[in-house]
Amino acid sequence: MTGRFDGLDRVRAGAMLLGVVYHATYAFIPDVGPWFPVQARATSTVFVAVAGVIHAVRMPVFFALSGFFAALVLDKRGAGFLGDRFRRLMVPFFVATPLSVMADTAIRRLALREGVMDARYDVQGDWVLRPLHLWFLEYLFLFCLAAWLLSKTRLTARLDGLFARAPEVLVAGGLLTFGAQHFVGEPQPAFSFAPQVASLLAFGPFFALGWALHRARTSTDALTRRAWPMVLAALVTCLVVFTRPLQWQPPGQALAAVAAWLMTLGVMGLALRPGSRSPGLLVQSAYWVYLVHHPLVQLGQVLVARREWPVWLSYGAVVLGTFAVSFGSYALVVRHTPLAGWLGSAPGHQRASKVSERT
């Protein structure tokens, strides 16, 4: 039987594209000025909940998917694993970071001139060297390096039995996530190139979960059967937490951590169900869209921040404008050029990444 992972590929693309939706919320959150360079006139507390729910589950799901595909690439590439991961992750990181830093500085200075930056925002228009939205590339490579080193030892930890019979037990990982956050602190990887213990502890276990799921990919019937209840439980939990002050309290933070594990397991279970189709434009373009979206989002926020528009119109203009420019640039600059192969977004590369396996 041929095993393909089109569903997982689509979910990974969705997690990247959801980054646009998430980052666009911040300018429209009431009194966000001390923590974000753009404060729009039109705001809504709804965006507090929207940002909270997306933030709680998006990156855990993404890192778990990345762990799954990293294990797949190791099986396929063998000795070429680290070279493949370096080209896929670190080369874009080194190329895009200087451009992102320059764009970030220019847009913050524009926000200052337009009067849409709060005086309490700490860096104002200064040059600041930080990874911004590209931080995940550095951490993914570190996790790949750690997994490759462990693969050279005799240390193994297989979860086939749990995935086959009781995947819900793995939700207990949420307590570990909460414990790490409570004792080590909130991960803030976008502000420093130095790997942070809090960020490693926050996202490393999800990468390991995805890696273990690939090793147990022939034993996921129970996971796929229970996927929808897990997803629904995660959504309900997130809504309870992020529509109340509970999100700022330890019980709420613990519930959010559990929801992240529920959502990750549920989404991956759904994506592993039978059925596949060739990757479409959204899947092919997702990596590029994520690489270029951040300055586009912030520029859009600056342009609408002083408008007397309804908040949802302003927010929608930022999101739709960002997608239009990023998708357009993908079609014109990437899709039919060597960049597509370099970013792993060419249709041929997408098909090749889904190797045939016995199940």
Per-residue pLDDT reduced to its tens digit, 111-133? 999 999 999 999 999 999 999 99
- Band (pLDDT 50/70/90 cuts) for residue 279 is low
Higher-confidence position of 4 and 41: 41
Instruction: Give how far Cα 295 sits from Cα of 39, 102, 257, 277, Å.
Output: 15, 10, 29, 33
Contact between 67 and 211 under an 8 Å Cβ cutoff? The reply is: yes
**What is the spatial distance between Cα 312 and Cα 44, in angstroms, rounded to a whole number?**
9
Residue 158 has φ and ψ, to the nearest 5°, of -100, 140
Contact between 307 and 41 under an 8 Å Cβ cutoff? The reply is: yes
Contact between 326 and 291 under an 8 Å Cβ cutoff? The reply is: no
**What is the spatial distance between Cα 59 and Cα 186, in angstroms, rounded to a whole number?**
14
Supply the pLDDT for residue 34: 95
Is the per-residue pLDDT at 351 higher than 50?
A: no
Name the most confidently modeled range: 3-12, 150-159, 293-302, 343-352.
293-302
Among left, alpha and beta (phi > 0; psi -120 to 50; other), residue 31 is: left
Is the per-residue pLDDT at 254 higher than 50?
A: yes
Residue showing tokens 């039919």: 336
Is the per-residue pLDDT at 348 higher than 50?
A: no
- Band (pLDDT 50/70/90 cuts) for residue 354 is very low
Mean of the pLDDT values across residues 183-189?
Answer: 93
Tell me the pLDDT tens digit for each residue of 46-95.
Answer: 999 999 999 999 999 999 999 999 999 999 988 899 999 999 999 999 99
Is the per-residue pLDDT at 30 higher than 50?
A: yes
- Band (pLDDT 50/70/90 cuts) for residue 33 is very high
Q: Position 302: which residue type?
A: V
**What is the spatial distance between Cα 3 and Cα 355, in angstroms, rounded to a whole number?**
7
Contact between 25 and 51 under an 8 Å Cβ cutoff? The reply is: yes
Mean per-residue pLDDT over the chain, rounded: 90
Is the per-residue pLDDT at 3 higher than 60?
A: no
